[in-house]
């Protein structure tokens, strides 16, 4: 498949994938569900309404992960009750829908995914295109998605294993050597953290 991809694809991040999807340089991608906002933005996209969404297949050992954002209150907060009241207001059913309409990502409440304000919303410059047409697939995906494993230094771990895995992908390392290097690097990281 690499011969059909844009130059530099191995170094792509969320932004490059989204930009190339919006410009029409790529025909398919694996992306966060709210990447749909960019491909349907008429100010920056040449592919408005041309993308369809599907659920990533799930297997027993490998499933799509569900990223999550949390709103938390420190146990040291001097205004804990007020902060909790604000969170309840922020994540109310009405605000969940408002946030989605304003481009704040996908709703946090399952009921919002069938709210007519969202399911009937159209892309501003393309009135025949449903703005949140991905929602049925997002709901379906949430049935099999698993949260990312969170553990201390998880982001550091990602950085440590990325380089050897990237070398495998680029053909700069054999799979066996790359995995051995990743294992060695993780063991070194754990020693340094101990």
pLDDT in tens, 30-87: 888 888 889 999 899 999 999 999 988 877 777 777 777 778 899 999 999 999 999 9
User: Which residue shows structure tokens 């960019």?
Assistant: 38
> How far separated are the first and last CA of the chain, in Å rounded?
41
Q: Which residue has the higher pLDDT, 78 or 145?
A: 78
CA gap 166, 163 in Å, rounded: 5
How confident is the model over 5-33, as pLDDT tens digits? Answer: 888 888 888 899 999 999 999 999 888 88
pLDDT at 114: 95
* Residue-level pLDDT at 22: 95
| Alpha-carbon span 99 to 91, nearest angstrom | 9
Mean pLDDT to the nearest integer, 147-163: 84
Residue with more model confidence, 155 or 98: 98
Task: Report the distance separating Cα 143 and Cα 55, nearest Å.
Answer: 10
How far, in Å, are 75, 175, 176 from residue 172 at the CA level? 48, 10, 12
Give Cα 122 distance to the centre of its chain: 22
The angle subtended at Cα 139 by Cα 133 and Cα 144, nearest 5°, is 140
DSSP-assigned beta bridge partners for residue 123: 126
- Checking if the pLDDT of 98 tops 90, the result is yes
Cβ within 8 Å of residue 125, ≥6 positions away? 42, 48
Whether the per-residue pLDDT at 111 is higher than 90: the answer is: yes
What pLDDT, on a 0 to 100 scale, did the predictor assign at position 57?
82
Q: What is the pTM of this model?
A: 0.76
Bridge partners of 147, per DSSP, are 66
| Structure token digits, residue 76 | 């040291």
pLDDT at position 179 over 90 = yes
């Amino acid at each position: 498949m690499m011969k059909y991809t844009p130059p530099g694809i191995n170094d792509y991040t969320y932004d490059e994938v989204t930009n190339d999807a919006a410009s029409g340089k790529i025909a398919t991608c694996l992306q966060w569900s709210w990447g749909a906002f960019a491909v349907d933005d008429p100010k920056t996209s040449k592919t408005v309404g041309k993308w369809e969404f599907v659920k990533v297949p799930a297997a027993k050992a490998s499933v799509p992960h569900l990223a999550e954002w949390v709103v938390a209150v420190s146990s040291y907060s001097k205004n804990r009750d007020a902060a909790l009241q604000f969170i309840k207001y922020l994540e109310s059913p009405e605000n969940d829908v408002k946030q989605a309409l304003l481009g704040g990502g996908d709703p946090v409440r399952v009921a919002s995914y069938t709210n007519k304000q969202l399911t009937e919303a159209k892309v501003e410059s393309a009135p025949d295109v449903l703005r949140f047409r991905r929602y049925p697939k997002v709901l379906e995906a949430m049935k099999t998605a698993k949260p990312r494993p969170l553990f201390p230094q998880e982001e550091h771990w990602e950085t440590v294993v990325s380089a050897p895995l990237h070398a495998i992908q680029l053909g700069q390392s054999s799979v066996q050597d790359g995995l051995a290097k990743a294992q060695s690097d993780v063991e070194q990281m754990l020693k340094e953290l101990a």
